[in-house]
Amino acid sequence: AVKLANRVLALTPSTTLAITAKAKELKDQGVDVIGLGAGEPDYNTPQHILDAATRSMNEGHTKYTPSAGLPALKKAIIDKFERDQGLSYKPNEIIVGNGAKHVLYTLFQVLLNEGDEVIIPTPYWVSYPEQVKLAGGVPVYVEGLESQSFKITPEQLDSVISDRTRAVIINSPSNPTGVIYTAEELQELGKLCLEKNILIVSDEIYEKLIYGEHKHVSIAQLSPELKEQTIVVNGVSKSHSMTGWRIGYAAGNKEIIEAMTNLASHSTSNPTTTAQYASIAAYNGPQEPVEEMRQAFEHRLEVIYNQLVSIPGFTCVKPQGAFYLYPNVKEAAEKTGYQDVDAFVEALLVEAKVAVIPGSGFGTPDNIRLSYATSLDLLEKAVARMKDFVETKL
């Protein structure tokens, strides 16, 4: 066998990959599978953004840019923070990277020494633990209990802090649960992080997808001290339906940003120039398309949530943001004769022809993740299939 580095051997293969590969195999055989695994909006990038990208290319903006991003894009991001959160950043406190995922990767690379711990609430976005491990760090999990809407408390956080703790990750709204922390909850968690001098990595990629009367609050906007203690990570992927453009950014302490910029200068040089011009238009141009997509997601959620929880053995904390539902289906799996939810998910795919993601990959094996970034028509059909499947097996 080829000899590979230990660091990649330690990576956990993506659980979502196995099910997605199997769904694709079935589709290729002509089976009518409905996929609810998507982690991206089902809309095209708004036209004015595409136009800005084309224009920039035609004007000859096709060369390297500064490693941390074009000054004009940094300015657009700074203006966005000011407008949305009342946060003021300087250009040397911002780095633009190739998607929020890449920015987080770079961040852990510059923050962690071998054995440093990063606290990750469960259920978590699959890449956090792997990125921490790739940087030599150790993921330390704290259970976001379903009975607490998957949100961790300061007491829980306190109980896992050690002298090796470097940072805690807050992802609000959350992938996979769609749950949002309130300002009060963030204030309490933040107070503890300040006391114990723990950095806060705030992943706010779903910021623009908020439903009902819920609000997005960045922990960084709660006080100047918390702003100093927090690295905010965000991007245009989910807000402007720009997943393929690969633009994300981080804002925070200038020494951390400078270290990230140095690292980026030797790894990526810069995020794609055309995508940076597109992102300037995304933030400086009209925001109506963002709101239109949000409304469509909200409508789908309202329709599909009620249908989903009418399935016997399904319970679901109602999402407040993002575009995922994260029902607990343990009882449904047990009552229909499956040994665990992973086996139930496999049967849903093969027999009900619906592809969902098992919660085991997110650190909570009793749940499944469904994305509603697909048409209402397909969503209703998929939920009806799942309901039929469960009811005939009971």
Binding site for ligand PLP (CB under 6 A): 39, 99-101, 125, 171, 175, 203, 205, 235, 237, 243, 248
- For the CB of residue 243, give the shortest distance to ligand PLP in the complex, in Å: 5
Q: Which is nearer to ligand PLP, 205 or 251 (CB)?
A: 205
| d(C-alpha 305, C-alpha 315), whole Å | 10
| Token couple for 373 | 């970034």
- For the CB of residue 97, give the shortest distance to ligand PLP in the complex, in Å: 9
| d(C-alpha 164, C-alpha 377), whole Å | 49
Q: Which is nearer to ligand PLP, 96 or 333 (CB)?
A: 96
The whole-angstrom distance between residue 69's C-alpha and the CA centroid of its chain comes to 22
- For the CB of residue 208, give the shortest distance to ligand PLP in the complex, in Å: 13
Residue 33 identity: V
Q: Which is nearer to ligand PLP, 56 or 237 (CB)?
A: 237
| d(C-alpha 128, C-alpha 100), whole Å | 12
Angle at 382 between CA 379 and CA 386, to 5 degrees: 140
- For the CB of residue 310, give the shortest distance to ligand PLP in the complex, in Å: 28
- The total of other beta-carbon atoms located within 10 Å of residue 297's CB is 22
Q: Which is nearer to ligand PLP, 42 or 331 (CB)?
A: 42
Residue 55 identity: R
- For the CB of residue 391, give the shortest distance to ligand PLP in the complex, in Å: 32
- For the CB of residue 312, give the shortest distance to ligand PLP in the complex, in Å: 30
- For the CB of residue 123, give the shortest distance to ligand PLP in the complex, in Å: 11
The CB-nearest residue to ligand PLP is 99
- For the CB of residue 68, give the shortest distance to ligand PLP in the complex, in Å: 16
Q: Which is nearer to ligand PLP, 205 or 293 (CB)?
A: 205
- For the CB of residue 74, give the shortest distance to ligand PLP in the complex, in Å: 17
Q: Which is nearer to ligand PLP, 137 or 178 (CB)?
A: 178
Q: Which is nearer to ligand PLP, 221 or 371 (CB)?
A: 371
Residue pair 26/353 in contact (Cβ under 8 Å)? The answer is yes
Q: Which is nearer to ligand PLP, 297 or 344 (CB)?
A: 297
Q: Which is nearer to ligand PLP, 252 or 313 (CB)?
A: 252
- For the CB of residue 322, give the shortest distance to ligand PLP in the complex, in Å: 8
Residue 290 identity: V
Q: Which is nearer to ligand PLP, 243 or 262 (CB)?
A: 243
